Amino acid sequence: MPISSGLHPEPTREEGLSREQAAGLLTEYGPNALAPPPAISLWSRVFAQLRDPLIVVLLSAVALTLATADYADAVIIGAVVLFNTTVGVVQEVRADNAVAALSAMTAPTARVLRDGAEQEVASADIVPGDVLVLGEGDIVPADATLLRAAALLVDESTLTGESVPADKDAHGPDPEAAQLRAGTVVVRGRAVAAVTATGPHSALGAIAASLHPRQLLTPLQKRLAGLGKVLALVTVGLCLLVLALGLLRGQSLELMAVTAISLVVAAVPESLPAVVTLGLALGARRMAIRNAVVRRLSAVETLGSVTVLATDKTGTLTEGRMLLERVWTPHGTVAVSGSGYEPVGEFLDTGLPPAPALTDAVREVLVAGALCNDASLVPPADADTPWAALGDPTEAALLTGAAKAGCAREGLVLTRPRVGEIPFDSLRKRMTTLHSTPRGMIEIYLKGAPEAVLDASLLDEEPGLLELARTEAAALSAQGYRVLAVAAGSRTGLPEPAGTSESGLKLLGLAAISDPPKEAAEATVRACRRAGITSVLITGDHPATARSIAVRVGILRDDEAERPGLVVTGQELAAGQVPDLTRVRVFARTTPQQKLDIVQAWQARGEVTAMTGDGVNDGPALRQADIGVAMGRRGTEVARQAADLVLADDELTSVVAAVEEGRRVYANIRRFLLYALAGGAAEIMIMLLGPLFGLALPLRAGQILWINLLTHGLTGVAMGAEPASPDAMRRPPRRPNQHVLGDGLWQRVLRLSVLVTAVCIGVALWARHTGGPWQTVLFLSLLAAQLGVALGLRERVLTRRNLSLPVAVLTAAALGAAAAYVPFLANLLDTRAPSWPDIGIAAAAGLVVFLAARTESRLAKSTGDSSKPTGTSRPDRTPVRSAAP
């Protein structure tokens, strides 16, 4: 057994390809690159925006207004369409550019043997048959088979989801151990490998090819499409009725046709697309500040409707960095605090500093772990950069633990330099190093898997101690830790043969290492639980590790950890042993297809799913989910291209913020619909009922359109920027099949429209009774009433947030008064200057409606809150009714 490591001598393919051979193969197989996503033309983006159901309604309204020569209103509605389309297209282009800037999936260059010499070439120029030369930190540029390897450890988490790097060996018994996959990362060792597949023919390319474009409507698009149909039928029917009644009363056909078209425009909330777009754009902007890139505006609203959050583990819920958390010795156990690779933390025994004997025992374990180690720690370059590791993350965790104990490796190697080693390999599952001391002794340090170290042939220990250590190691493994056993010994000289150094050693202890949860992970899962969102963990990692993380972050309660059916493996899924995937909360050792099946199972149940992930193996599920969320830093290009939302800082808390943004947007849309439809319905009812009270033609067409411009166009758009309700994240998500006017909203529309109608007709009758210009007073009171509704529906009337709404209300009121007093507008709208008492009664109408809307809004909210669930997640959770906004 060799004392020092080296590549296994093997003469295979020493020369590599010739330059001519490589050029020919490149022509035959094409570049070693994934096919880029098809470019989307500007006109395709514009057309996609114009296919929105409400935009179609607005374009129809433009055609009607042009047909009646109402060019002013046609221009206004057209401006709304232009605004909506421009903002949507600009956001998509900006998001695509931001995602392109994050793209760093494959290595730009790679080292190969060509013409007998090592050369650096562009990774896109690598071809099947090339011989790769790989070292620590290299990204494997293509699928390859190992020819030679030395202590090779590869991070395959992007493909498998496994947080622990995999040992690779060209001559091991497992054929898979000799295979390298494109996109994986060499974390330790070096290798020479022959390329077997490139570009779309690689494992990475096969997964990328399975990502088909998604042609699904978002929940908001579905709801607005249904709303458009309802509005079209109801408003056209009612306006035809107004037309017929006007003709029966002897009004001219031209006058009533213009009035009917004006009512259609008034009844259709043409500012809704602008409100939706503004709300989504503001949400996207807020998300950008929170380091989240929204690739599609509708993704913000979709997150607001999410009922299930399926999350990856490594790098999403966890730090993506290994951490020494516990050290067991024959003298006791200590817990180690800290995060990441920063050498700052404490050693505690049941919350207190350990006794001196235990402290000395722990230091011996950590000194051995630091010397029997090939990794290194990289200090931060600046205040915003974390400590990093080079080499095996598990060994880096030992270095960090030793530094926390004041045993930095740099100082240790000065007094105990390494003079020999028996490197780690996948068969022995252990590593041994030999160090000289100033006294001329040779110290031997060994670490490895417990089953490979806790052996009587290696350790000179009592059988009882070995059995105790095995029991402790099994218990730590069951808790999701990666456990290393550490031993040491000494000799008077360099042992010959090498194998004799691994005998007669003393057991120092066990090191329990894991990829710990992020500090915010538990709070994030708790926030989802409060919001009625079911969290599901899907990972390629070991089931014990997955179960442990799920308990620590709150996806599983302590009493659920061992409950049958809540934690399953991909093998059980493949065997058909899981009848209902939606009852499972933790999936371990899953394949990309199984992740896809899990998402589809939830969708088949009618849930709106969000899927987070960073690996190539997450790509299909990210694309299938209603909302895909990819990590920007450690995320792969495949994951980013499949996602709707990219988290540039890899923090899951941004998803919760996005859910809140989505709920804010949806609540504002419903608030605007309540406001706009109540006003539109009141206008139609006034036109229908006014003649019954002797008001022959209650409103002129121009007056209707002027009110419509000031309420829908100015005030309505400002409502889209209203802040989120303080209890937005304490409400359950909306039922996916709920109509946008559901949950009592259409009843509220009816109540408010009846109230506005009654108040305004009453004011008009009073004005006619006193001899005032009753039509102008009706016009002003209707405007004041609708503005009163806008203020009355606010979550908090006197908030300083979104000052644009009170400014819009004041501006609309001023422009309404100008319609009665400015000669040009008075002639255009056929109004007369009212007296001050008439102005006062119109303002009083607005105040009455404001108070009524305020009271009605609070009653609706309290009624909704009374049925609000406590937010506890249940394995058999079904969609629950939500509170009214």
Distances (CA, A) of 675 to 279, 548, 634: 16, 49, 45
Q: Identify whether 115 is a catalytic site residue.
A: no
CA distances from 783 to 272, 442, 480, 796 (A): 19, 93, 65, 22
Q: Which amino acid is at 252?
A: S
Taking the C-alpha atoms of residue 34 and residue 882, their distance in angstroms, rounded to an integer, is 44
Angle at 609 between CA 871 and CA 282, to 5 degrees: 85
CB 235 within 8 A of CB 167: no
Cα-to-chain-centroid distance, residue 336: 31
d(CA 866, CA 869): 9
Q: Could you give the CA distance from residue 686 to residue 41 in angstroms, rounded to a whole number?
A: 47
The DSSP code sequence of 774-841 is HHHHHHHHHHHHHHHHHHHTSSSTT-SS-THHHHHHHHHHHHHHHHHHSHHHHHHHT--PPPHHHHHH
Taking the C-alpha atoms of residue 220 and residue 235, their distance in angstroms, rounded to an integer, is 22
Amino acid at 644: D
Q: Which element (helix H / strand E) includes 333?
A: strand 332-336
The CA distance from 716 to 673, in Å, is: 9
| CA nearest neighbour of 789 among 673, 644, 642, 692 | 673
Torsion of CA 500, 506, 508, 510, to 10 degrees: 70
Query: Is 418 in contact with 433 (CB distance < 8 Å)?
Result: yes
Q: Using CA atoms of 150, 153, 158, 164 in order, give the dihedral in degrees to the nearest 10.
A: 170
Q: Rounded to a whole number, what is the distance in angstroms from the first to the last CA of the chain?
A: 73
Bridge partners, 188 (sequence order): 153
| CA proximity to 663, closest of 216, 228, 225, 286 | 286
Whether 817 and 738 have beta carbons less than 8 Å apart is answered as: no
Length of the chain: 885
Q: Among candidates 557, 585, 553, 532, which has minimal Cα distance to 871?
A: 532
Contact 364, 508 (CB under 8 A): yes
Name, in order, each residue with C-beta under 8 angstroms of 538's C-beta and a sequence gap of 6 or more: 310, 311, 312, 587, 590, 595, 598, 611, 621
Burial 280-308 (b: 16+ CB within 10 A, else e): bbbbbebbeebebbbbbbbbbbbbbbbbb
At 699 the three-state DSSP class reads coil
Amino acid at site 414: L
Q: Round to whole Å and give the CA distance between 365 and 352.
A: 20
Q: Which helix (H) or strand (E) covers residue 422, if one does?
A: strand 418-422
Catalytic choice (143, 169, 312, 618): 312
How many Å apart are CA 515 and CA 535, to the nearest integer?
20
Between the alpha carbon of residue 266 and those of residues 712, 727, 850, the distances in Å are: 9, 33, 21
Determine the Cα–Cα distance for residues 336 and 392; give it in Å rounded to an integer. Answer: 20
**Residues taking part in catalysis:** 312
